[in-house]
Structure formats: structure tokens, C-alpha cells
Amino acid sequence: MMDHFDLLAAVYEKLIPPPDPRVLGKLLDLAPVHALLDAAGGTGRVAGVFAAAVARAVVCDSSPRMLEQARRKGLETVLAEVEAMPFADATFDRILLVDAFHHLRDQAASLRELLRVLKPDGRLVIEEPDVRRLPVKITAMLERLFLMRSRFETPSSMLRMIDEAEGVPTLAREDGFRIWLVVVKP
Ligand SMILES: C[S@@+](CC[C@H](N)C(=O)[O-])C[C@H]1O[C@@H](n2cnc3c(N)ncnc32)[C@H](O)[C@@H]1O
């Protein structure tokens, strides 16, 4: 069955501006030997910025139409839910989860799965809208109206969930609208 993102895929990047590579680039701290996973990476809007800097870049997403756009950029794609990804343990040096945590069906299971496929000492960088801010609260309300199954969590609740999944999280940055968490796998 087509979901909201399948319907939006063709126009997604016209609606959502390109990412600022400076913040994510700094937090990712990529090396040419790295394998990078863009989890719930959609059209590859973000992975496309960093793919040339690493040995392997993979976009995993549950929407076939979003992934079609990523493939057009020449990116490697995997159709799967973040909750159950077809990768061996400790496959990736770096993982991105941008603007997607609130969309995940099972956030706790997804965090465990992201940490499973991350290498020890690897880094997961999460960018999320900051639900403590009014414009994000309004977005959350609109997404409920459009029957999207979004669930926005506060930074402190996200930090607790990551801790429970046995990652070591830091609230690395906030800009009044978004937050960035860096999670290290011990
Ligand atoms: C707002 S988009 C963000 C896409 C991309 N990270 C970006 O920043 O451009 C959210 C994405 O999450 C994907 N998604 C939602 N739930 C998912 C799940 N459980 N597993 C994998 N992908 C999921 C959607 O298909 C969509 O592509």
C-alpha cells in the first residue's frame, strides 16, 4: 500500500530544502574508508551530499518511491524498515537518521537495530525537529491531521531511550528549531 512518502516522493526535494552539510559533516567526522548508512534516508537528499566522501553509502527506507529518487542519484538503496534491517551486526562506521525518528513505527526497536548494525566506536547522528518549539508543535498537529503516525519526543526523552538501547548519547547541538544528537556505540 502507498504511504504518505510514496505519494510525496516526486516532489519531496522541491518541498524540503537541501541539508546544510556543515553541521552534519562536522558531527559525522567521515573518513574515506567509512561505510555510511542513511537510515530512513528517503530520496537520498542527505546521503547524496556525503556519498563521495566515503567508501560505501547506503540509503535504507521503507518507501519504494522515495528510494527510486535515491537510485536516480546513483545511490545504493535497500528497501526495509529501520526496525529490521537486512545488514550484519557492526556493518557501518557512521549512521545518519535525519528528520525521521518521529516517523518510525517502533522507536525503541529502531534504536536497538541502528546500534546493532553500527560498529563499536561507530557514530549515529540524529537530526530531529525540536518539539519544544511552537512551529514544531504545529507541524506535529498537522501531521496528526493528515493521519501520519508521527510521534515527536523531547530531547530528554530521546536521550533516555538511547540510553536504554545501550548507546551513549550527547545532545551535540540545537538551533532553536532542530536538535542534533550524536550517539556512540560503546
Ligand atoms: C521526512 S522523510 C526524511 C527523509 C530523509 N532522511 C531526509 O532527511 O531527506 C522520512 C522518511 O522516513 C521513512 N520512514 C518512515 N518510517 C520508516 C521506517 N519504519 N523504516 C524506514 N523508513 C521509514 C519514510 O519513508 C521517509 O522517506
CA 107 to centroid of ligand 1, rounded, Å: 12
Q: Whose CA is nearest to atom 16 of ligand 1?
A: 104
CA 13 to centroid of ligand 1, rounded, Å: 13
| Long-range contacts formed by 12-21: CB under 8 A, 24+ apart | 12/42, 12/43, 12/45, 12/66, 12/69, 13/43, 13/45, 13/69, 16/45, 16/99, 18/45, 18/49, 19/45, 19/46, 19/49, 19/98, 21/49, 21/50
| Beta-carbon contacts of residue 4 (< 8 Å; ≥ 6 apart) | 146, 148
CA distances from 87 to 36, 143, 168 (A): 12, 31, 22
Average pLDDT, the chain: 94
Q: Does pLDDT of 159 surpass 60?
A: yes
Question: Which H helix or E strand runs over 170?
Answer: strand 168-174
Q: Does pLDDT of 1 surpass 60?
A: no
Q: Which residues line ligand 1 (CB under 6 A)?
A: 5, 40-42, 45-46, 61-63, 66, 81-83, 98-100, 103-105
Q: What is the pLDDT of residues 26-35, one digit of tens each?
A: 999 999 999 9
Q: Does pLDDT of 49 surpass 80?
A: yes
Q: Which atom of ligand 1 is nearest to the CA of 82?
A: 20
| Beta-carbon contacts of residue 161 (< 8 Å; ≥ 6 apart) | 107, 108, 111, 153
Q: Percentage of the chain surpassing pLDDT 70?
A: 98
Q: What is the pLDDT of residues 94-147, one digit of tens each?
A: 999 999 999 999 999 999 999 999 999 999 999 999 999 998 888 888 877 766
Q: Does pLDDT of 44 surpass 90?
A: yes
**Position with higher pLDDT, 43 vs 148:** 43
Q: At 111, is the secondary structure helix, strand, or coil?
A: helix
Q: Whose CA is nearest to atom 13 of ligand 1?
A: 40
